[in-house]
Amino acid sequence: MEIANITEMRQNPARVISRAVRTKQPVVVMQRSRPVAYIVDAASYEATQRRLDEAEKIVRLNESRMALEELANLRASMREDTGDSVALIRELRERRSQ
């Protein structure tokens, strides 16, 4: 990873940006020995955003799948148990808190 300090960014930002574009590696901008920003080329940023969007879709899909499984389990429990619904609701709440 390339490093640029804030002074270099002020003096010649085009050089820092072109370094990120040319190397396809992020350039970390440091101020007082701490990273304050990262400069990445547009293609790398867009690819990262696409991967992040895909990961979020997978997470949502898994959450939906888990909710459907829980619903199926609830329906099965309701068919098996014709007793008190309070006990069934309590059991569901306990499962969720685990």
Alpha-helical regions (H) of the chain:
6-11, 13-23, 42-80, 85-97
Residue 96 structure tokens: 């969720």
User: Taking a C-beta distance cutoff of 8 angstroms, is the pair 68, 76 a contact?
Assistant: no
Residue 44 structure tokens: 């790398």
User: Taking a C-beta distance cutoff of 8 angstroms, is the pair 58, 37 a contact?
Assistant: no
Per-residue pLDDT in tens (0 to 9) along the chain, 98 residues: 899 999 999 999 999 999 999 999 999 999 999 999 999 999 999 999 999 999 999 999 999 998 888 888 877 777 666 566 777 777 778 877 77
CA dihedral (18, 21, 24, 27) positive or negative: positive
Q: Which pLDDT score is estimated for 71?
A: 82
Q: Which pLDDT score is estimated for 83?
A: 62
